[in-house]
């Protein structure tokens, strides 16, 4: 059995304690990252800037975060982002479709974005899917979408690498 990663104690980290008090539950991702307190303090505003309000709607961001997390089989990120996906307007059928790589029910722009997220996740280049994206999204939106996919890949790898489970 693999050695589990140590988790920071909120009693010894005021910033972590404040984050968990807002969430009203322990968060193993935050507790692991809190072992590097400066990283956690800088990650939170960056995360908010990427997934928060912008030029790309919340539903699309949630859809792409989940598509990436399913591609990486990140159980923690999937569990953590399903409630937000539902709140952003993704239906149970759409969530099931993302999980099973069935994109037919999504709009052409959404399908292009999902393909882009998956290709970027698999290859770190996404040249094929990127060209299709320009038919649906501005350059600014492309940057925002790429930030969401990159952030999802970061958290997926952090959680999978450290075996952080929901």
pLDDT for 83-130, tens place per residue? 999 999 999 999 999 999 999 999 999 999 999 999 999 998 888 888
Structure tokens at 143: 């940057």
62 touches 149 (CB < 8 A) = no
pLDDT at residue 3 in the model: 83
106 in helix, strand or coil?
coil
pLDDT at residue 1 in the model: 62
Q: Is 75 exposed, middle or buried (0-12, 13-18, 19+ CB in 10 A)?
A: middle
Distance CA 125, CA 103 (A): 21
Where in the chain do CATH 1.20.1290.10 domains reside? 58-161
Closest CA to 134 of 124, 145, 125, 118: 145
Backbone dihedral region for residue 8 (phi beyond 0: left; psi -120 to 50: alpha; all else: beta): beta
158 touches 29 (CB < 8 A) = yes
Tell me the angle at which helices 75-87 and 92-99 cross, rounded to the nearest 10 degrees. Answer: 150
The arrangement of secondary structure in 58-161, i.e. its CATH architecture, is Up-down Bundle (1.20)
CA distances from 35 to 26, 76, 118 (A): 15, 18, 30
Structure tokens at 46: 């960056």
* pLDDT digit string, tens, across residues 51-90: 999 999 999 999 999 999 999 999 999 999 999 999 999 9
pTM, to two decimals: 0.94
* pLDDT digit string, tens, across residues 1-40: 678 899 999 999 999 999 999 988 899 999 999 999 999 9
Mean pLDDT throughout 126-148? 93
27 touches 20 (CB < 8 A) = yes
Within 13 Å and on the Cβ side, how many CA atoms surround 134? 6
Contact partners, residue 130, CB within 8 Å, separation at least 6 = 116, 142
Using 50, 70 and 90 to split pLDDT, how confident is the model at 43?
very high
Mean pLDDT throughout 140-162? 98
């Amino acid at each position: 059995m693999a050695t589990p990663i140590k988790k920071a104690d909120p009693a010894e980290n005021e910033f972590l304690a404040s984050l968990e008090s807002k969430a009203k539950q322990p968060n193993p991702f935050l507790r692991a990252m809190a072992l590097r307190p400066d990283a956690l303090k800088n990650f939170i505003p960056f995360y908010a800037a990427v997934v928060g309000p912008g030029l790309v709607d919340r539903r699309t961001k949630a859809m792409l975060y989940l598509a990436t997390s399913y591609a990486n089989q990140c159980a923690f990120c999937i569990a953590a982002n399903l409630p937000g996906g539902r709140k952003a307007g993704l239906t149970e059928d759409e969530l099931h479709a993302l999980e099973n790589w069935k994109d037919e029910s999504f709009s052409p722009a959404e399908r292009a974005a999902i393909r882009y997220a998956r290709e970027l996740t698999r290859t770190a280049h996404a040249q094929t899917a990127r060209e299709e994206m320009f038919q649906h999204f501005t350059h600014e939106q492309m940057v925002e979408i790429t930030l969401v996919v990159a952030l999802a890949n970061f958290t997926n790898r952090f959680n999978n690498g450290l075996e952080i489970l929901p």
